Structure 1
Amino acid sequence: MESQQTALPKLYIGIDIHKRSWKVHCSTDLFSGKSFSMPPDPEQLLNYVLKHFPGFEVSTAYEAGCCGYYAHRCFVSYGWESLVVNPADIHRKGKERHTKTDRIDAQLISRELRDGRLESIAIPEREREQLRSLFRRRNDLVKDFRRVKSYIKMQLLYFGIKVPEEFDNDHWSHKFRTWLDDMVFTYPTAKATLQSRMRFFRFVDQELRDVSTQLRRYCKVHYKKDYMLLRSIPGIGGIVACGILCELGDLRRFNSVKHLAGYVGLAPGVYQSGDNYRVMGMTPRAHRLIRSYFVEAAWQAIRADPVMQAYYRKHLGKDTKKIIIKVARKLLSRTLAVIKTETPYVIGVIE
């Protein structure tokens, strides 16, 4: 009796992606395979697979990084299974932790893919991915804005110029800006330095306002329902709501608050060995930008919502930083509940 092939042979491709080249390792369920370098072109990898592995069921994986999801979308369009994985999820044995090359990385990804130990990160749709780029541009501008303000204050301090008490705060009013413009130095070079920094300050200030307006307007139009639900929560303003929509995507994809808290990084790290048990503080694996936004929003929430304020006061006497993390976790739980139930939050209602 003739035997018939009832299942397609499987090909597992691990790729270490870089800007100028890819290191690729191909293996199957029967042999460990081979490694090679190639230009960063998904089309060339397709031609290689069609030539050397025709009729194989193909699975690919590569680490998330600066090259984005273009390669992933190409692989999916070829009918392949494609995973984009967090580098921390790739298991390394003891020796492998101390030896790192592109070839070894590709082999590890291929091995983990073949053994079924890899899970893909959430891949955003193109619209949300490009909206995310605008949100991150705003955060770049915030950093530039803080930096140029520090440079200006540094110059005043260096030359021994004391800022009037009415202007000595984080808010730079028009009067303070005029005071800086009218400042007189002994020599024109110092004045030219300050004028240059003030021009850059005004440019960044205007860019930050324009980008923030564009971001809020887009979210209001295209994600109006979720945006308004988030805005109903005390402490979550327009920019924080945009950040949640851009970086976390649709919160309905999270199964529980525990799942969401682990993703954001508002979950404790725990160490236990026998009778030795201790909490290690917040987990280092986090979405650091959104975590910082929730912590800042928590400070606003305890001022605007009596329920949050009571929760904060209940823990008074403990470390203030630990208390605000508890409030941020509660705010995160509230955010998920509002989105999943699609019910706006009502201030003062005890949960």
Structure 2
Amino acid sequence: MAGTMTWVGLDVHARSTHAAAIDAATGELSRIRFGAGLEAPVAWLSELPGPVSACYEAGPTGFGLYRAATAAGLDMRVIAPGKTPRGPSDRVKTDRKDAELLARLLLAGSLTTVVVPPVEVEAARDLMRAHDACRRDLMNARHRVSKMLLRHGRVYPKPTTWTVEHRRWLAAQQFDQPASELTFADLVAAVDGLAARKAALAERLSRLALDEQWWPTVARLRCFRGIDTLTAFALHLELGGDWHRFSRAPQLSAWLGLTPSLNQSGESSRQGAITKTGSTLARRLLVESAWHYGRDPRIGTVLARRQDGQPDHVLQIANRAQQRLHRVYTQMRSRGKHHNVVVVAVARELACFCWAAATAD
């Protein structure tokens, strides 16, 4: 930033913060260590010769320091840790060295910042991620039930489990040992409790998605096959509630980690697996939605209900996506591509169609 007098790098942890400041006029480097809390680092930054430009790497400490520094009128940036340049032969890593490295790279303009979401977006995103965590816990709890039954040689004879009929079959299971009976009852109770929690979270998220702050974009995304309210809301929140931050659709698919990695040197060039950067939740939801495009394009009753009342140009984008993505799916499958490779390719293009619908006038 032009006119900056002091460049500061901070290595932030739960119980300590190391800071390194470079005076642009004298080149002097100063270091300091703080304990837990935000007040001391912000007060120290405010006392430095200004203007001050500071940064720290994104991590488990969240955006509290960023918001406190910004409220104090300071230029604070949150850095993408995966894109911080580091020497391959540098084998000594300390908090002091990391803070100094950030300060020097910030001065050189070699750091990549991340977008800090508004407070309300972060709060809604936390609730959405709590729902996803509950989903994973429920899946693990169900696996424990089935694996215990398998150890006792009991396998449900039908392919679809956790239906009403399957629950009746579970209720009929009896064990000779009292300890096994108690274990089985505890495992089933854990499944019931997690299922109730997941349903409650889903209901709250569905009501939250109807807020005027979210619903216009969520309603557009629901026009796509395989994307209903919770999936659309989750995609919107994982992008920080702002699809316009990506000027082109391929930028979004690259941010989501759906583009192939590339290793190019001299005359050789080799593509590898997808990069898997960005939001894991958003990428998983897009891949799950992409499986729906293996079926023939059609607008059923449920999808027609979701599309009702949406602008014509958004419906054209969604319906064009059905035709295009089904064609991509069938063509790649006919060439012998693996199912997972095909679905990821469809998910990459689905992300681009979603961007087009969300950013359309």
Compute the TM-score of the two structures, normalised by the length of structure 1: 0.89
Equivalent residue, structure 1, for 2:141: 148
Instruction: Give the corresponding residue for 1:14.
Output: 9
Quick check: 140-149 or 304-313, which moved more? 304-313
- What's 1:347 paired with? none
Q: Is structure 2 residue 237 aligned with structure 1 residue 220?
A: no
Identity of aligned residues (%): 25
Match of 1:137 in 2: 130
Equivalent residue number for residue 175 of structure 1: 165
- Work out whether 1:246 is the aligned partner of 2:237: yes
SS of residue matched to 2:175: coil
Shift of 1:304: 6.0
Aligned to 1:40: 36
Whole-Å Cα distance in 2 between the matches of residues 284 and 299 of structure 1?
A: 18
Candidates 197, 214, 228, aligned match of 1:207 = 197
Equivalent residue letter for 2:27: F
Aligned partner (choices 192, 196, 200) of residue 186 of structure 2 = 196
SS in structure 2 at match of 1:95: coil
User: Any residues of structure 2 matched to 1:282-301 within 5 Å, and which?
Assistant: 282-301=274-293
Q: Give SS of 2:272's match.
A: strand
List gaps (5 residues or longer) in structure 2: 298-321
Q: Whole-Å Cα distance in 1 between the matches of residues 57 and 96 of structure 2?
A: 14
Contact 1:265 1:284 in 2 (8 A): yes
TM-score (norm 2): 0.87
| 1:76 aligned residue (48, 55, 70) | 70
Of residues 322, 335, 346 in structure 2, which corresponds to 1:317?
335
Aligned to 2:73, the other structure's residue is in SS state: coil
Letter in 1 for 2:229: G
Deviates more, 1:135-144 or 1:308-317: 308-317
Q: How many residues align?
A: 330
Aligned amino acid, residue 7 of structure 2: Y
Residues 62 and 83, structure 1, Cα contact 8 Å, conserved in 2: yes
CA shift for structure 1 position 32: 4.2
Q: 1:277-314, CA deviations, whole angstroms, 9 ceiling, x for partnerless residues?
A: 11122114332221111111100133263512222112
Matches of 1:149 and 1:113, distance apart in 2: 48
Per-residue deviation, 1:183: 1.5
Distance 1:333 1:9, change over 3 A: closer
Residue 331 of structure 2 aligns with an amino acid whose one-letter code is: K
Aligned-pair CA distance for 1:8 = 5.9
Distance 1:76 1:215 in 2: 30
Equivalent position SS for 2:210: helix
- Structure 1: gaps (5+ residues): 1-6, 343-351
Q: Is the 8 A contact 1:90 1:108 kept in 2?
A: no
